[in-house]
């Protein structure tokens, strides 16, 4: 009796730990990222639980791998979550950014843009990450809330959140849980690699919570 063919889950859908293990050490900006907070803190703070193998779980895993690669892997040629030579992204109809832009500017600068609460043009890749890592030291988590359409054009709602427990650009922490909500539309290949992602959300609604609605820090 012939063997039954099996379909192996692609690496980019196996989760961040699997991709970290498969990535060459020299590809990381500094060192391989550690996601222990996602395992210890995130489960208590998320508002959704996705069934194993559901489209929601698949999309969440893919976007988490994407975020990890653009934040920590300096070599787009080794990114597995996307077709890096074709990939582009924007937010709220802003100009398109490609993989090179993400490597040079950083995802925070590309996907937040200049704001009265966050001057992206004044931030480097490294400084932009420190701004949010310092302000949200327990983790800045992300989850899929709902998937509205299947591949190849996947529309989905999401939640991004953290506890404001560190200073943000001179503003003192409040210890509050701060959240942002949005929607994205991703175009993917047949094997679910990202080709294009459009994000729609109000960054100032989130950033305003870190500044008390005032763009100038006060003592």
pLDDT in tens, 4-35: 444 699 999 999 999 999 999 999 999 999 99
Nearest alpha-carbon partner for 18 in 55, 65, 63, 53:
65
Q: 95: Cβ–Cβ under 8 A, 6 or more apart, which residues?
A: none
The answer to whether the CB of 81 falls within 8 A of the CB of 65 is yes
The answer to whether the CB of 66 falls within 8 A of the CB of 194 is yes
Task: Output the pLDDT for position 136.
Answer: 97
The answer to whether the CB of 90 falls within 8 A of the CB of 97 is yes
The answer to whether the CB of 160 falls within 8 A of the CB of 107 is no
What's the pTM value of the predicted model, to 2 decimals?
0.92
pLDDT tens by residue, 34-84: 999 999 999 999 999 999 999 999 999 999 999 999 999 999 999 999 999
CA distance 65 to 132: 19
Mean of all residue pLDDT scores within the chain: 94
**What's the CA dihedral at 131, 135, 141, 146 to 10 degrees?**
-90
Gyration radius (Cα) of the chain, Å: 18
Quickly list DSSP for 115-136.
Answer: -SS--GGG--HHHHHHHHHHHT
The answer to whether the CB of 133 falls within 8 A of the CB of 126 is no
Strands 88-91, 194-201: parallel, antiparallel or unpaired by DSSP?
parallel
Interval 120-136 mean pLDDT: 96
CA distance 169 to 117: 9
Please, which pLDDT band fits residue 3 given cuts at 50, 70 and 90? very low
pLDDT tens by residue, 133-160: 999 999 999 999 999 999 999 999 999 9
pLDDT tens by residue, 168-184: 999 999 999 999 999 99
């Amino acid at each position: 009796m012939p063997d039954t063919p099996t379909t192996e889950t692609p690496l980019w859908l196996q989760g961040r730990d699997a991709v970290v293990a498969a990535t060459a050490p020299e590809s990381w900006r500094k060192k391989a990222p550690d996601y222990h907070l996602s395992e210890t803190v995130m489960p208590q703070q998320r508002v959704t639980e996705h069934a194993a193998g559901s489209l929601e779980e698949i999309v969440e895993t893919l976007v988490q791998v994407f975020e990890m690669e653009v934040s920590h892997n300096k070599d787009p040629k080794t990114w597995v979550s996307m077709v890096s030579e074709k990939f582009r992204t924007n937010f709220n109809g802003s100009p398109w950014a490609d993989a090179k832009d993400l490597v040079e500017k950083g995802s925070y600068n590309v996907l937040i843009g200049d704001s009265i609460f966050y001057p992206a043009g004044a931030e480097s890749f490294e400084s932009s990450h420190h701004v949010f890592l310092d302000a949200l030291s327990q983790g800045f988590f992300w989850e899929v809330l709902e998937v509205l359409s299947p591949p190849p054009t996947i529309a989905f709602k999401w939640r991004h959140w953290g506890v404001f427990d560190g200073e943000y650009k001179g503003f003192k922490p409040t210890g509050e849980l701060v959240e942002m909500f949005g929607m994205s539309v991703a175009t993917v290949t047949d094997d679910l690699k990202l080709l294009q992602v459009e994000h729609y959300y109000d960054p100032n609604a989130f950033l305003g919570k870190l500044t008390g609605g005032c763009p100038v820090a006060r003592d």
